[in-house]
Amino acid sequence: MTELSAPRPAEAVMQSATIAAPVEAASASRAQWGIVGGHAFKHIFNSGFAVILPEIKASLGLSNAAVGTLATVRSVVGGAANAPAGYIADRYGGGFAWMLAGTLALLGLFQLGLGFAANFLTAIVFATLANVLFTFWHPPAIGTLSKLFPRKRGLVIALHGTGASIGETLGPLLVGGLLTVVTWQTALRTSVVPAVIAALIVWFATRSVKVRSRPVSARGYFKDYWLLLRSRKLLLVLAIACGFSASQAAVLTFLPVYVREDLRQSTWMVGVYVAIAQGAGIVTLPLMGRLLDRVGRKAIIAPSLFALTGALALLYVSGGSFFFIVGLALTGAFIYSITALLTTAACDVTADHVQGTTVALVYTANAAFTVLGPFVSGFIADATSVRDVFLFSSAATLVSAVLASVTRWERARA
């Protein structure tokens, strides 16, 4: 049985006492909902970019290769930004309210800059800077929630993920509707206004909460970082997250392609299929987060991964029948929840002063395999069929499920 409980000498960084200052319940609750709401708003921008991208391509006369290059650069730079984001979140955690508000405000400014882009170089610079901010949000946001609510860690991190699902659902609808009446340039230029308003709301919601941070030199930080990378407990969680992330990215990339090309559905129905998955995630995320706290990590994480394995297999065998819809709803119920569950488990095994770095490590692992999953599944789709991507994803998830089932999960620290 793989062990996630007994500490080892190399894991001294895991044993620090809680360093969050006492916080009134009302202030903590207000901060929680401010962070969740800010996350939803951030994902409206994130998902809206996918709708705007074809308009940018047509307006600037970009080739498919240029669009692919833009997407790759955004992903690589955004993934690389996790490490400094984790350091800043832990080193200057007391200023997390300014970090989160500043992230949203700067996001609006970079959207404004993208709205004035007249060529590929300008577009890629501002689109990439915006993606860095999408990345930067997670370490201070999730790290702070983890410190403030150690006994409800699973629930609050799941609610944070629910904010993302809501934003991912609303973003394409709002932006798609907006583009029917204004140009993409106007949509981006005017987005700075709601971004600044959202930044102010988040700041007012979180400013009264004080979280102490530990002053540490760059050398001390990298020592802690190295100790985290030597932690067998954390590496197990990251390994489980990697297999799942490859599966998730492959499914989310090729599901629209399969529905459009193999099932021969309209673009509207592609949106409906995606919405079915997103809607299921909105419902199940908070439920699974609460169960994670009440019945334990292993009792939720391992069965969730096995259930996702079965749901993906159902997508593969069902073709365009009614059972494909059933499989899609089941897939959405778990595929949007498991990242939050694994992030919670990672935070369980690390100390409060490295919570931001822990979150950054989870998202770095996710980013690496988010690139790898679609890359491998793309070759599979070309060699055989797009439907076989579901089989690949099911197999990748099964590996993570087996590893999770033989892991002895650590319970949350008070």
pLDDT value of position 23: 56
Average pLDDT score over residue span 188-199: 95
Residue 414 carries which DSSP code?
-
pTM, full prediction:
0.74
Which band of pLDDT confidence, cut at 50, 70 and 90, is reported for residue 362?
A: confident
The pLDDT > 90 percentage for the chain reads: 30
pLDDT value of position 5: 43
Residue 57 has pLDDT above 90, yes or no: no
- Compute the distance between CA of residue 34 and CA of residue 52 in angstroms, rounded to an integer: 27
Interval 70-82: pLDDT, tens:
777 887 788 788 8
Residue 125 has pLDDT above 90, yes or no: yes
- Compute the distance between CA of residue 24 and CA of residue 92 in angstroms, rounded to an integer: 21
- Compute the distance between CA of residue 125 and CA of residue 240 in angstroms, rounded to an integer: 33
Interval 88-117: pLDDT, tens:
887 777 788 999 999 999 999 999 999 999
**All residues at 6 or more sequence positions from 128 whose CB lies less than 8 Å from its CB, including other chains:** 70, 73, 74, 77, 78
pLDDT value of position 410: 61
Q: Which residues of 306-325 are buried (b: 16+ CB within 10 A; e: fewer)?
A: bbbbbbbbbbbebeeeeebe
- Compute the distance between CA of residue 235 and CA of residue 344 in angstroms, rounded to an integer: 14
pLDDT value of position 68: 67
Which band of pLDDT confidence, cut at 50, 70 and 90, is reported for residue 18?
A: very low
Cα dihedral: 155, 158, 160, 166 (round 10): -130
Worst-scoring range by mean pLDDT, 131-140, 217-226, 376-385?
Answer: 217-226
- Compute the distance between CA of residue 343 and CA of residue 126 in angstroms, rounded to an integer: 29
Answer whether 42's CB lies under 8 Å from 134's CB.
Answer: yes
pLDDT value of position 62: 79
Q: Which of 39, 351, 392 is nearest to 225 (CA)?
A: 351
Average pLDDT score over residue span 228-244: 87
Query: How many Cα atoms sit within 13 Å of 325 on the Cβ side?
Result: 7
Query: How many Cα atoms sit within 13 Å of 7 on the Cβ side?
Result: 14
The number of angstroms, rounded, from the C-alpha of 227 to the middle of its chain's C-alpha atoms is: 24
Which band of pLDDT confidence, cut at 50, 70 and 90, is reported for residue 267?
A: low
- Compute the distance between CA of residue 130 and CA of residue 46 in angstroms, rounded to an integer: 9
Which band of pLDDT confidence, cut at 50, 70 and 90, is reported for residue 216?
A: low
pLDDT value of position 102: 95
Residue 261 has pLDDT above 90, yes or no: no
pLDDT value of position 14: 46
pLDDT value of position 110: 95
Q: Which two tokens stand for residue 249?
A: 């990215």
Tell me the three state secondary structure of residue 408: strand
Count of C-beta atoms within a 10 Å radius of residue 110:
23
Answer whether 91's CB lies under 8 Å from 212's CB.
Answer: no
Worst-scoring range by mean pLDDT, 51-60, 121-130, 339-348?
Answer: 51-60
Residue ranges and CATH numbers for the domains of the chain are: 23-207 (1.20.1250.20), 223-414 (1.20.1250.20)
Which band of pLDDT confidence, cut at 50, 70 and 90, is reported for residue 305?
A: very high
Average pLDDT score over residue span 218-227: 72
Residue 231 has pLDDT above 70, yes or no: yes
Calculate the alpha carbon distances from 26 to 23, 202, 206, 289, 293 in Å. Answer: 8, 15, 11, 21, 21
Tell me the three state secondary structure of residue 8: coil
Answer whether 10's CB lies under 8 Å from 230's CB.
Answer: yes
Interval 324-347: pLDDT, tens:
999 999 998 998 889 889 988 888
Worst-scoring range by mean pLDDT, 23-32, 115-124, 323-332?
Answer: 23-32
Residue 94 carries which DSSP code?
G
Q: Which two tokens stand for residue 163?
A: 């904010």
Q: Which two tokens stand for residue 119?
A: 């060529």
Which band of pLDDT confidence, cut at 50, 70 and 90, is reported for residue 12?
A: very low
Q: Which two tokens stand for residue 179?
A: 């583009």
- Compute the distance between CA of residue 292 and CA of residue 181 in angstroms, rounded to an integer: 44
Answer whether 285's CB lies under 8 Å from 325's CB.
Answer: no
Calculate the alpha carbon distances from 139 to 143, 259, 343 in Å. Answer: 5, 35, 11
Residue 374 has pLDDT above 90, yes or no: no
- Compute the distance between CA of residue 145 and CA of residue 156 in angstroms, rounded to an integer: 7
Average pLDDT score over residue span 247-262: 82
